[in-house]
Chain A
């Protein structure tokens, strides 16, 4: 009977489906039990080949689970002690800050590799790469000299409706936190209100702001520097209508934010997990980041990509990154002015 055949076929295929998938996805463990489970807020397209290289060099397999940094953080908090994650690699320090409570203290030999300003005060995570906040501008309508160098110029009437920001994005929120610390609560609130009154344009993320500047939708956009370099690498530097400009080194606009890594508590002593973090901070890996993602290496011995201003020339506002974890007050402020 037709109905019975369909039912039988369905049962058989449901039971065999996972086997089929197991065969199709490369899950061969090549006989070694040396492996780590990593929650990666950085995409596979970017770092997948890097992890393969780690496995090749050390024989330790990386079970990488990719997702948004914040979503993975929310997931780890929901999983609690039962989380399969051993290592957490995050796009931004904000997400690392919110999971500090479930992260282990890193060995001093690792944390001392990089300057104090790029790691957690309590040594639960360290920065892997640095990103500078920059202003992208439409080179067809704005000259480099006209681009504001101070955050306070952005609320000028001249830029009405012409500034793109990503208020829901972690890097923008870190910048606002930095501004609160550097310029004070009142000044930051006033500035945000002026910005809203000046018809600021809201986007979902940095990449979309850059696309908008590149297609002439807005004249200025606040983004991280490497978005420009990455897009230029994808479509060719000559076809970039958007250009970027670094702000005054002391202005909150020139904040250096970091991507970072931490170990989950139960993996504090896990040699494989520790080896992975050490390897991320090695000169070779740091320079791989510099040349592949155009971010700043944080290991002092590693060199940044050509064409970038030196990291220490972009001092950033006078604050330390650990203070950036005061995210709730920033969110409250952004909610109050109606940006998120």
Chain B
């Protein structure tokens, strides 16, 4: 990469990123084909329905509620784990990451089984918050751990109180990370179907599903999905605003990494432990305990062979999906972490399509593309893995980008000046230092893919069952007792990447001079 102060975007990198982003934007292309193939009348008809806007409002409201609630959980939790002496800090940290492993529809069903009166907007907001708060918790705690604490110490020495010093420095430094996590949560809530269906909230995605399902009226469904994309663009631009143009790498040396922990009173410590325990109870213990209760009510014997096959299939296909996602995300992340301009912003926004759209839209778009252009891979293992990559690429993108951003470009420039070619200079410096961050993004894609259902049903090879499809097979027939072992297996399997993710974030490589900043943020 060039080392001039106003860097020009390397052409190869730009086109690589553009190619990756256009692959991620396949679902958008499909929507455009479907929408433009219809008359203006049918488009206007959909837009003029009062219900269209009412449900769109509900979806946005739900997204913002869940984001605010997640932040309200994440900041205290991250602060406790970085500033208060609590027993077993590492275990509590892992417990705060593990809710990522619980599929939202499983959590909703488990709660509903114990509290059948739960329904409506606030119930859905509660469950969505409990399964998605780690998306803000992780980037926030990473930011609090690695941000430049000397600033906070300076603020204190200038007479600020601990709270105002924190707000003026570390908190402000953490806003880009928090905003990025919030974006992932917001996009997820917009496209969620399972939780809102179980708690009977009329959201926009539900209207899209019932339109697809009921009439096969592809036009109005596509128009509705188009509106969802517009809602997503609102969230993406809000996030970009919050992220601002700040460069996030730290000065190379001379900064104490850890702020001395607050001399916490016994009261603060017990309140902290109570908070962490309460969080783990509501987000992990209640849903899993409920599943065990349900399992005891089932009557049909479990087929271990079937379960094992489903576990293997789930792990393998989500792993391959994660590898493809990381591969597609790398050029985009390399571009956007170093070259901020309109073109790179457009490329980045395009690659978010997958996360905002409901799985059924992604599924149909890949059916359409594959059967018409690549019939040989239709309903193959690779198409399914590829679908996961398209769906969840933004998760890997965010992690890779923030890892690259936190590596000072000067290292690369030094390598170049020592005679390395651009690619190998990048590999030896930024690439190498960011390895853990990139891997963390891959883990996140993997664990999300494991839980994916609608696109999996459409695109998997015939006869190929994953844990999510086996679970669906049973819940579809109200065989909840028989479904539970699969729900528990899914949680257990997804807990592995979630656990590795928490380890990857805790690790600070001793051989490196500075801690690697890892963030799952977008």
List residues of chain A with CB under 8 Å of any chain B CB: 2-3, 6, 10, 13-14, 17-18, 20-21, 24-27, 37, 43-46, 63-68, 70-71, 73-75, 77-80, 82-84, 94, 98, 168, 170, 173, 201-204, 207-208, 210-212, 215-217, 227, 230-231, 233-236, 327-328, 331, 335, 338, 340
Given the complex of chains A and B, what is the CA–CA distance between A57 and B320 in angstroms? 38
Contacts A3-B432, A79-B371; is A46 near B477 (CB within 8 Å)? yes
Residue of B nearest to A38 (CB): B462
Q: Is B198 an interface residue (CB 8 A)?
A: yes
Residue of B nearest to A70 (CB): B213
Which residues of A lie under 8 Å from residue B202 when comparing CB positions?
A: 202
One of B281-289, B376-384, B494-502 contacting the partner: B376-384
Given the complex of chains A and B, what is the CA–CA distance between A295 and B50 in angstroms? 39
Which residues of B lie under 8 Å from residue A230 when comparing CB positions?
A: 477-479
Which residues of A lie under 8 Å from residue B320 when comparing CB positions?
A: 13-14, 17
Q: Is B403 an interface residue (CB 8 A)?
A: no
Given the complex of chains A and B, what is the CA–CA distance between A208 and B480 in angstroms? 11
Q: Is B299 an interface residue (CB 8 A)?
A: yes
For residue B105, give the distance in angstroms from its CB to the closest CB of chain A.
11
Can you give 27 contacting A-B residue pairs, CB < 8 Å?
Answer: A21-B312, A21-B381, A25-B309, A44-B465, A68-B457, A68-B476, A70-B212, A74-B364, A75-B367, A78-B367, A79-B371, A82-B375, A83-B371, A168-B209, A170-B213, A202-B202, A208-B198, A217-B117, A227-B478, A230-B478, A231-B478, A234-B478, A234-B481, A235-B297, A236-B299, A328-B215, A340-B210
For residue A221, give the distance in angstroms from its CB to the closest CB of chain B.
13
Which one of A13, A24, A75, A236 contacts B312 once the chains associate, using CB atoms below 8 Å? Answer: A24
Inter-chain contact A43/B319, CB cutoff 8 Å: no
Q: Is B316 an interface residue (CB 8 A)?
A: yes
Given the complex of chains A and B, what is the CA–CA distance between A43 and B457 in angstroms? 12
Which residues of B lie under 8 Å from residue A74 when comparing CB positions?
A: 212-213, 216, 218, 360, 364
Given the complex of chains A and B, what is the CA–CA distance between A10 and B375 in angstroms? 27
**Which residues B483-512 have CB closer than 8 A to chain A?**
none
Q: Is B368 an interface residue (CB 8 A)?
A: yes
With most chain B CB atoms within 10 A of its CB, the pick from A98, A168, A203 is: A168
Contacts A43-B477, A203-B200, A234-B298; is A70 near B214 (CB within 8 Å)? yes
Which residues of B lie under 8 Å from residue A13 when comparing CB positions?
A: 319-320
Given the complex of chains A and B, what is the CA–CA distance between A43 and B479 in angstroms? 11
A/B pair count, beta carbons within 8 Å: 167
Inter-chain contact A204/B200, CB cutoff 8 Å: yes
Which residues of B lie under 8 Å from residue A210 when comparing CB positions?
A: 478
**Which residues B195-223 have CB closer than 8 A to chain A?**
197-198, 200, 202, 206-207, 209-210, 212-218
Given the complex of chains A and B, what is the CA–CA distance between A220 and B375 in angstroms? 49
Given the complex of chains A and B, what is the CA–CA distance between A227 and B479 in angstroms? 10
Given the complex of chains A and B, what is the CA–CA distance between A251 and B281 in angstroms? 50
Given the complex of chains A and B, what is the CA–CA distance between A46 and B473 in angstroms? 8
Given the complex of chains A and B, what is the CA–CA distance between A21 and B321 in angstroms? 14
Given the complex of chains A and B, what is the CA–CA distance between A233 and B507 in angstroms? 51
Given the complex of chains A and B, what is the CA–CA distance between A331 and B367 in angstroms? 26
Q: Is B407 an interface residue (CB 8 A)?
A: no
Which one of B309, B372, B382 contacts A18 once the chains associate, using CB atoms below 8 Å? Answer: B382
Which one of B297, B323, B360 contacts A71 once the chains associate, using CB atoms below 8 Å? Answer: B360
The 3 closest A-B CB pairs, nearest first, are A215-B116, A207-B478, A70-B213
Given the complex of chains A and B, what is the CA–CA distance between A201 and B199 in angstroms? 11
Which residues of B lie under 8 Å from residue A216 when comparing CB positions?
A: 116
Which one of A68, A208, A233, A338 contacts B213 once the chains associate, using CB atoms below 8 Å? Answer: A68
Q: Is B431 an interface residue (CB 8 A)?
A: yes
Given the complex of chains A and B, what is the CA–CA distance between A212 and B199 in angstroms? 11
Given the complex of chains A and B, what is the CA–CA distance between A44 and B310 in angstroms? 14
Q: Is B59 an interface residue (CB 8 A)?
A: no
Given the complex of chains A and B, what is the CA–CA distance between A74 and B197 in angstroms? 20
Inter-chain contact B381/A45, CB cutoff 8 Å: no
**Which residues B422-457 have CB closer than 8 A to chain A?**
427, 431-432, 435, 439, 454, 457
Q: Is B150 an interface residue (CB 8 A)?
A: no
Inter-chain contact A75/B477, CB cutoff 8 Å: no
Given the complex of chains A and B, what is the CA–CA distance between A335 and B381 in angstroms? 39
Inter-chain contact B200/A67, CB cutoff 8 Å: no
Inter-chain contact A45/B214, CB cutoff 8 Å: no
Given the complex of chains A and B, what is the CA–CA distance between A29 and B507 in angstroms? 48
| A82-B378, A170-B214 given; 4 more Cβ-contact pairs under 8 Å | A17-B320, A45-B482, A64-B463, A203-B200
Inter-chain contact A3/B216, CB cutoff 8 Å: no
Given the complex of chains A and B, what is the CA–CA distance between A204 and B108 in angstroms? 13
Contacts A37-B462, A67-B457, A79-B371; is A18 near B214 (CB within 8 Å)? no
Q: Is B240 an interface residue (CB 8 A)?
A: no
Q: Is B241 an interface residue (CB 8 A)?
A: no
Which residues of A lie under 8 Å from residue B465 when comparing CB positions?
A: 25, 44
Inter-chain contact A17/B462, CB cutoff 8 Å: no
Which residues of B lie under 8 Å from residue A234 when comparing CB positions?
A: 298-300, 478-482
Which residues of A lie under 8 Å from residue B368 when comparing CB positions?
A: 78
Given the complex of chains A and B, what is the CA–CA distance between A74 and B117 in angstroms? 34
Given the complex of chains A and B, what is the CA–CA distance between A44 and B475 in angstroms? 11
Which residues of B lie under 8 Å from residue A328 when comparing CB positions?
A: 215, 217
Inter-chain contact A24/B309, CB cutoff 8 Å: yes
Residue of A nearest to B382 (CB): A18
Q: Is B518 an interface residue (CB 8 A)?
A: no
Given the complex of chains A and B, what is the CA–CA distance between A124 and B369 in angstroms? 28
**Which residues B172-203 have CB closer than 8 A to chain A?**
197-198, 200, 202
Given the complex of chains A and B, what is the CA–CA distance between A10 and B320 in angstroms? 9
For residue A195, give the distance in angstroms from its CB to the closest CB of chain B.
16
Inter-chain contact A71/B216, CB cutoff 8 Å: no
For residue B424, give the distance in angstroms from its CB to the closest CB of chain A.
12
Q: Is B420 an interface residue (CB 8 A)?
A: no
Q: Is B474 an interface residue (CB 8 A)?
A: yes
With most chain B CB atoms within 10 A of its CB, the pick from A14, A173, A338 is: A14
Encoded as 1 (CB less than 8 Å from any A CB) or 0, chain B from 323 to 350 comes to 1000000000000000000000000000
Which residues of A lie under 8 Å from residue B117 when comparing CB positions?
A: 217
Contacts A43-B473, A67-B458, A84-B379; is A79 near B51 (CB within 8 Å)? no
Q: Is B166 an interface residue (CB 8 A)?
A: no
Given the complex of chains A and B, what is the CA–CA distance between A241 and B251 in angstroms? 67
Inter-chain contact B473/A66, CB cutoff 8 Å: yes
Which residues of A lie under 8 Å from residue B380 when comparing CB positions?
A: 18
Residue of A nearest to B221 (CB): A74
Contacts A211-B116, A234-B298; is A84 near B214 (CB within 8 Å)? no
Residue of A nearest to B427 (CB): A3
Inter-chain contact B210/A3, CB cutoff 8 Å: no
Inter-chain contact A45/B477, CB cutoff 8 Å: yes
Q: Is B313 an interface residue (CB 8 A)?
A: yes
Given the complex of chains A and B, what is the CA–CA distance between A204 and B119 in angstroms? 12
Which one of B112, B217, B297, B458 contacts A75 once the chains associate, using CB atoms below 8 Å? Answer: B458
Given the complex of chains A and B, what is the CA–CA distance between A12 and B111 in angstroms? 42
For residue A183, give the distance in angstroms from its CB to the closest CB of chain B.
21
Inter-chain contact B462/A331, CB cutoff 8 Å: no
Q: Is B266 an interface residue (CB 8 A)?
A: no
Inter-chain contact A335/B309, CB cutoff 8 Å: no
Which residues of A lie under 8 Å from residue B209 when comparing CB positions?
A: 168
Given the complex of chains A and B, what is the CA–CA distance between A82 and B369 in angstroms? 12
Which residues of A lie under 8 Å from residue B463 when comparing CB positions?
A: 25, 27, 63-65
Residue of B nearest to A99 (CB): B216
Q: Is B49 an interface residue (CB 8 A)?
A: yes
